[in-house]
Every structure is written in C-alpha cells, then in structure tokens.
Amino acid sequence: MYAVGSGIKPWRAPRAGGGVGSVRRLLAAVAAVSLLGIGFALGAHGDGPTRYTTVVVEPGDTLWAIAAAHYPGDDVRSRVQDIEAANGLAGPNIEVGQSLKLPG
C-alpha cells in the first residue's frame, strides 16, 4: 500500500490555462537563441564594409597567381572564390587589362 507522507505531495494536473506560462518561456528561449545567433553572425561577418584593392590583369596573370601574390599564407582556393564573387565572375577566366577588385 502506498501512503502520502510528510513532504510528499500527490501529483496534480496543471491548472486550466497553465500552459501559457510554458509557452512564454519557450518563446523567450527561442528569441534569446535567435538573438545570440544573429550576434555571432554579425561578429563573423566583420565590423564594416569590405575594403577593396584594385589590380589590373597583366599578360600571363591568372586568378590563382593574383590570389597567391596578394594573400600570402591564406588558402588560395578560398581567395580565388572571394575574388570571383567580388567581381561577379562566373569562373576563373580573366582578360589582360581587366580591373579586378581584391577584397581586403
């Protein structure tokens, strides 16, 4: 036989409308996580606008060579993609005399 003793309270069903508080807590938690995520995204993006250096393509230049020369120590593949994106290029094809923006 089970008896309710001192300090043991029987289980009670939640009050009518008692779910409102838990919904509010859930919404507050979702809002806090969302704001934290936005903060991290903005921090990773950088503080201000991207600065560019402009170079003119010389005979024999390739995006790979330009990226390697201007970003020593960086991942060249990533920098080639950055240059393509900054200049609206669909691929690595460039022409002599073309001006390219190099992200800072």
Kindly report the CATH number assigned to the domain that includes residue 74. 3.10.350.10
Q: How many angstroms separate the CA atoms of 69 and 76, rounded?
A: 9
Q: Which two tokens stand for residue 28?
A: 């507050």
**Phi, psi torsion values for 37, nearest 5 degrees:** -65, -40
Predicted TM-score of the model (pTM): 0.53
Could you give the percent of the chain with pLDDT greater than 70? 73
- pLDDT band, residue 23 (cuts 50/70/90): confident
83 in a domain, yes or no? yes
79 in a domain, yes or no? yes
4 in a domain, yes or no? no
Query: Which residue segment(s) compose the domain that 62 sits in?
Result: 52-103
Q: How many angstroms separate the CA atoms of 38 and 31, rounded?
A: 11
47 in a domain, yes or no? no
69 in a domain, yes or no? yes
- pLDDT band, residue 60 (cuts 50/70/90): very high
Report the domain count for the chain. Answer: 1
Q: Which two tokens stand for residue 46?
A: 């950088």
39 in a domain, yes or no? no
